[in-house]
């Protein structure tokens, strides 16, 4: 008899889909999106439609492993959990005795969006241990800082509201690839007459299906936003009533923006002046108008300021007033979970050292007082995803570094571990989920048994805490108690949302009032004065150092801007073990203008290099990028790449202007055809 079980997709994706599994003879035989879920709408993206392949892969890790080969070589032998946990306990105690607990560094990011697995027992454990804390900057921190600077709170409109829009601008947002559940709402809006514009250096799947693709030079969005402001004010399309009531600093901004004439902005962005004028006219005229801003814009040197400026646009036009107007970057803060109850920062013996995860290479090779002597990795694959990969790998190779990796698969990072611990997938453990692209809280109970001896992060950290003698109640709390804590913030958005209710309904909409969420229709921004902050401080456009208008000497040697946006069929490095994904992430898109003079044709091997490294990829000479830009869908497993380095060996450790983020999309390179 077939049985139906429910779950939630835990991948790092704004859509946070509800899932339905069909179970036959104890095995899942089908995975589907939850029908009737207002955002999932019964369908899944291609990668998770194939998730059962991963779930039941013969390559899943099923027992703890101890390294027997050299670091990075990938030779291991099975050991018992008891041995593995004893080794960790002893090594941690010795490191603490010799160097202090801050010599231990946890390292985690987006493997799971589940609050228990990714922000729960792990945080409590490392806080109590007194370990260094990790500043989780690798994905969104510049955009977060930019959005906060303008709005004072990270609210955005509902995906369901997009159907009411008449103009939708996907700005650095590859909707079809990274946010596919927004797509049906865009399709419906267009059926009702909306225009859909994409602003992206790459002709993505989304851009190729848009009414208009505006190709922008990487890292120049701040200039475009300022140029649009200039025109909106000059054409009297600013909503002065809204600005007077709900914004501060806008008269100074109006003055600053005057310098950004269409001609000047055109030179920086590569967008014809006439198109800039037309875009401003349409954005100023059309109501409701919404901007779907995603994180592509903020992975560059001025990315924080760019997000700040883009977030000012719907304030200037008063687009927030209308249903279907405003902006969506992230909806995450609307959940108002009780993070303190979950993470328990008060368990720290003193405020401990904060280490920026985007600078892992430096942390492992340069940091002192104390040096990092133990690295504990879970929910992340730093050997593949972090900038300045050669420094990261040099650090991971250190004989005196004790590395533990909790994984589902034998990643590059796992190859460098002293101990590898097998862990569960989201289908196998309990967790609670918010979202960054919608407003539904969801609960998932284990739908499938873990393979072999795999254990969840929560179980692993609970056991380690016991072994280290931590006797606070924090470490014996059940998963259900942790969830009750998360829901206990007392914020009105969570009123009436209980564990019991989630167990029955599985997905519950936040209490956002009647109808669609209109966060700033009547002002109410997150700053103390309730206003949006439009002061133009530090807002002037300066091109990124690593860009076509950047450092002169650098661009003489390395004249092409490399970006490495998300691959359609993968999730960062998560599906890097798949052959089809491996092929897709081995590609470099090159324009005809750049390929021709170098004698490069599609299918050729090209060497992509700069002062940091050299990587060989397969050329695709097509219209995907414009002259001066090359693009490689990310992210390949480095060990699949000849030379053992992926694209992140080319990326610098330089941080964004605000938020301490990584600058993956500010990277200058040169390319040449490989010799026969």
Ligand X SMILES: Nc1nc2c(c(=O)[nH]1)N[C@H]1C(S)=C(S)[C@@H](COP(=O)(O)OP(=O)(O)OC[C@H]3O[C@@H](n4cnc5c(=O)[nH]c(N)nc54)[C@H](O)[C@@H]3O)O[C@H]1N2
180 binds ligand SF4 (CB under 6 A): yes
Instruction: Find out whether 598 and 627 touch, Cβ atoms under 8 Å.
Output: no
Of the candidate residues 161, 238, 342, 563, the single one contacting ligand X (CB under 6 A): 563
Cβ closer to Mo ion: 139 or 383? 139
Residue 249 DSSP symbol: S
Size of the site for ligand SF4 (CB under 6 A): 11
For ligand SF4, give the closer residue by CB, 37 or 124.
37
Min dist CB 645 to ligand SF4, Å, is: 27
Please choose which of Mo ion, ligand SF4, ligand X, none residue 266 contacts, taking the beta carbon within 5 to 8 angstroms, the exact cut-off set by kind. none
Work out the number of other CB atoms within 10 angstroms of the CB of residue 264.
16
Residue 117 contacts ligand X per CB under 6 A:
yes
* Contacting residue, 44, 257, 586, 613, with ligand SF4 by CB under 6 A: 44
**Phi, psi at 240, each rounded to 5°:** -65, -30
Q: Which is nearer to ligand X, 85 or 571 (CB)?
A: 571
Rounded-to-integer distance, Cα 660 and Cα 304, Å: 9
Q: How far is the CB of 523 from ligand X (least distance, A)?
A: 28
Return the residue of 294, 332, 403, 442 that touches ligand X, per CB under 6 A. 294
Closest CA relative to residue 458, chosen from 475, 470, 473 = 475
**Largest CA-CA distance found in the chain, in angstroms, rounded:** 71
- CA angle, residues 543, 253, 436, in degrees to nearest 5: 70
The Cα 106–Cα 360 span in angstroms is 11
Of 9-17, 22-30, 230-238, 477-485, which part binds ligand SF4 (CB under 6 A)?
9-17
Distance CA 433, CA 420 (A): 27
Q: Do 435 and 38 form a contact (C-beta atoms < 8 A)?
A: no
> Per CB under 6 A, which region of 13-21, 190-198, 493-501, 536-544 contacts ligand SF4?
13-21
Residue from 125, 162, 409, 517 binding ligand X (CB under 6 A): 409
Applying CB under 6 A, does 17 fall inside the site for ligand SF4? yes
Distances (CA, A) of 431 to 7, 358, 472, 481: 9, 27, 22, 12
- Asked if residue 581 binds ligand SF4 (CB under 6 A), the reply is no
Query: How many Å apart are CA 564 and CA 617, to the nearest integer?
Result: 12
* Shorter beta-carbon distance to ligand X: residue 180 or 334: 180
Q: In what order do the strands lie in the sheet with 104-108?
A: 76-78, 65-67, 419-422, 402-407, 374-378, 104-108
Instruction: Tell whether residue 459 is a contact of ligand X (CB under 6 A).
Output: no
305/251 Cα distance (integer angstroms): 18
Q: Which stretch binds ligand SF4 (CB under 6 A): 5-13, 58-66, 581-589, 653-661?
A: 5-13
Q: Which is nearer to ligand SF4, 182 or 279 (CB)?
A: 182
Q: How many CB atoms lie within 10 A of CB 50?
A: 16
Residue 133: both structure tokens together: 């804390």
Give the integer Cα–Cα distance in Å for 649 and 420.
24
Q: How far is the CB of 633 from ligand SF4 (least distance, A)?
A: 16
Environment class of residue 199 by beta-carbon count within 10 Å: exposed (0-12), middle (13-18) or buried (19+)?
A: buried
Residue 431 near ligand SF4 by CB under 6 A: no
Query: Is residue 587 within a helix (H) or strand (E), and if so which, with residue range?
Result: strand 587-590
Among 7, 16, 330, 532, binds ligand SF4 (CB under 6 A): 16
Helix or strand run (H / E) with residue 129:
helix 121-129
Q: How far is CA 674 from the centre of its chain?
A: 33
Single out the residue of 332, 319, 336 nearest to residue 162, CA to CA. 319
Among positions 213-242, residues that touch ligand SF4 (CB under 6 A) are none
* Contacts (CB under 6 A) with ligand X, residues 346-385: 378-381, 384-385
64, 84 in Cβ contact below 8 A? yes
Residue 44 contact among ligand SF4, ligand X, Mo ion, none, beta carbon within 5 to 8 Å by kind: ligand SF4
139 is an interface residue for Mo ion by CB under 5 A: yes
What is the residue whose two structure tokens read 């927030």?
A: 320
Nearer to ligand SF4, 9 or 315 (CB): 9
CB of 391 or CB of 651, closer to ligand X: 651
Chain-centroid distance of CA 541 in Å reads: 25
State yes or no: residue 13 binds ligand SF4 (CB under 6 A): yes
Q: Does 621 bind Mo ion (CB under 5 A)?
A: no
Total number of residues binding Mo ion (CB under 5 A)? 1
Residue (54 or 555) nearer to ligand SF4, CB: 54
CB of 566 to Mo ion, least distance (A): 8
Nearer to ligand SF4, 180 or 311 (CB): 180
Q: Please report how close the Cβ of residue 393 comes to Mo ion at its closest, in angstroms.
A: 21
Residue 576 contacts residue 47 (beta carbons within 8 Å): no
Computed on alpha carbons and rounded to an integer, the radius of gyration of the chain in Å comes to 25
647 part of the interface to ligand X, by CB under 6 A: yes
What residue 144 binds from ligand X, ligand SF4, Mo ion, none (CB within 5 to 8 A, per partner kind)? none
* Contact between 148 and ligand SF4 per CB under 6 A: no
Q: Which residues touch 538 (CB under 8 Å, ≥6 apart)?
A: 305, 657
Query: By CB under 6 A, what part of segment 573-632 binds ligand X?
Result: 573-574
Residue with smaller CB distance to Mo ion, 33 or 296: 296
Q: Which of 21, 48, 311, 560 binds ligand SF4 (CB under 6 A)?
A: 48
Backbone angles phi, psi at 303, to 5 degrees: -60, -35
The answer to whether residue 650 forms part of the interface with Mo ion (CB under 5 A) is no
Binds ligand X (CB under 6 A): choice among 7, 408, 584, 656: 408
Which of the ranges 20-28, 187-195, 218-226, 324-332 carries the binding residues for ligand X, by CB under 6 A? 218-226
Stretch that binds ligand X, among 36-44, 400-408, 474-482, 579-587 (CB under 6 A): 400-408
DSSP 8-state assignment for residue 658? S
Could you say whether residue 670 binds ligand X (CB under 6 A)?
Answer: no
**Of the ranges 43-51, 157-165, 461-469, 581-589, which one interacts with ligand SF4 (CB under 6 A)?**
43-51
| Phi and psi, residue 485, nearest 5° | -60, -45
HSE, CB side, 13 Å, CA atoms: give it for residue 396.
30
Q: Is 602 helix (H, G, I), strand (E, B) or coil?
A: coil
Q: How far apart are the first and last CA of the chain?
A: 59
Token couple for 209: 């299906």
What is the token pair recorded at 287? 């109501």
Under the rule (CB under 6 A), what is the footprint of ligand X? 12-13, 109-112, 117, 138-139, 171-174, 177-178, 199-202, 204, 216, 218-219, 221, 294-297, 300, 378-381, 384-385, 406-409, 411, 423, 457, 563-568, 570-574, 634-635, 647-648, 651, 664-665
Under the rule (CB under 6 A), what is the footprint of ligand SF4? 9, 11, 13, 15-17, 44-45, 48, 180-181
């Amino acid at each position: 008899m077939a049985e139906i079980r429910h779950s939630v997709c835990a991948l790092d994706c704004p859509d946070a889909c509800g899932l339905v599994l069909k179970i036959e003879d104890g095995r899942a035989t089908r995975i589907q999106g939850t029908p009737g879920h207002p955002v999932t709408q019964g369908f899944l993206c291609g990668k998770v439609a194939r998730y059962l392949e991963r779930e039941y892969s013969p390559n899943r890790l099923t027992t703890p492993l101890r390294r027997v080969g050299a670091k990075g070589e990938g030779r291991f032998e099975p050991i018992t959990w008891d041995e593995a946990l004893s080794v960790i306990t002893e090594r941690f105690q010795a490191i603490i005795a010799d160097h202090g607990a801050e010599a231990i560094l946890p390292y985690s990011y987006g493997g799971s969006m589940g609050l228990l697995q990714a922000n729960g027992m792990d945080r409590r454990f490392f806080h109590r241990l007194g370990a260094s804390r990790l500043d989780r900057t690798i994905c969104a921190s510049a955009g977060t800082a930019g959005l906060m600077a303008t709005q004072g709170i990270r609210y955005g409109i509902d995906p369901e509201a997009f159907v009411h829009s008449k103009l939708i601008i996907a700005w650095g947002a590859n909707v079809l690839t990274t946010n596919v559940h927004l797509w049906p709402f865009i399709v419906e809006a267009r059926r009702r007459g909306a225009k859909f514009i994409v602003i992206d250096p790459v002709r993505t799947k989304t851009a190729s299906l848009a009414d208009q693709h505006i190709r922008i030079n990487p890292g120049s969005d701040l200039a475009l936003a300022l140029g649009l402001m200039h025109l909106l004010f000059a054409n009297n399309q600013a909503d002065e009533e809204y600005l007077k009531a709900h914004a501060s600093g806008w008269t100074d901004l109006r003055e600053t923006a005057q310098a950004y004439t269409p001609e000047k902005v055109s030179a920086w962005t590569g967008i014809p002046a006439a198109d800039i004028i037309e875009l401003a006219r349409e954005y100023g005229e059309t109501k409701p108008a919404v901007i779907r801003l995603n994180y592509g814009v903020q992975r560059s040197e001025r990315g924080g300021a760019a997000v700040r400026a883009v977030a000012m646009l719907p304030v200037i036009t008063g687009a927030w007033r209308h249903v279907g107007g405003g902006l969506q970057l992230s909806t995450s803060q609307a959940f108002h979970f009780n993070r303190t109850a979950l993470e328990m920062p008060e368990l720290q013996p003193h405020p401990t050292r904060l280490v920026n995860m985007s600078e892992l290479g430096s942390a492992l090779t340069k940091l002192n007082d104390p040096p990092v002597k133990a690295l504990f990795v879970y929910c992340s694959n730093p050997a593949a995803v972090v900038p300045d990969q050669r420094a990261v790998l040099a650090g991971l190779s250190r004989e005196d570094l004790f590395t533990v990796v909790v994984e589902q698969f034998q990643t590059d990072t796992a190859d460098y571990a002293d101990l590898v611990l097998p862990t569960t997938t989201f289908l196998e453990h309990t967790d609670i989920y918010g979202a960054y692209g919608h407003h539904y809280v969801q609960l998932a109970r284990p739908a499938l048994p873990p393979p072999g001896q795999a254990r969840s992060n929560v179980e692993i950290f609970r056991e380690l805490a016991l072994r280290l003698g931590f006797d606070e109640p924090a470490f014996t709390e059940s998963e259900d108690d942790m969830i009750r804590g998360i829901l206990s913030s007392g914020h009105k958005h969570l009123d009436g949302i209980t564990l019991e209710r989630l167990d029955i309904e599985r997905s519950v909409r936040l209490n956002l009032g009647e109808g669609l969420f209109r966060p700033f229709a009547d002002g109410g921004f997150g700053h103390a004065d309730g206003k949006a902050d439009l002061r133009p401080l530090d807002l002037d456009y300066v091109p990124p150092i690593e860009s076509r208008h950047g450092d002169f000497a650098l661009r003489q040697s390395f004249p092409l801007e490399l970006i490495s946006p998300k691959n359609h069929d993968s999730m960062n490095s998560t599906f890097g073990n798949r052959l089809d994904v491996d092929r897709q992430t081995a590609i470099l898109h090159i324009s005809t203008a750049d390929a021709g003079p170098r004698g490069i044709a599609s299918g050729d091997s090209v060497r992509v290099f700069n002062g940091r490294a050299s990587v060989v990829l397969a050329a695709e000479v097509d219209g995907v990028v414009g002259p001066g830009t090359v693009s490689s869908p990310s992210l390949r497993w480095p060990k699949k790449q000849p030379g053992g380095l992926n694209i992140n060996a080319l990326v610098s450790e330089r941080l964004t202007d605000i938020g301490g983020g990584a600058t993956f999309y500010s990277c200058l390179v040169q390319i040449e055809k490989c010799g026969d």
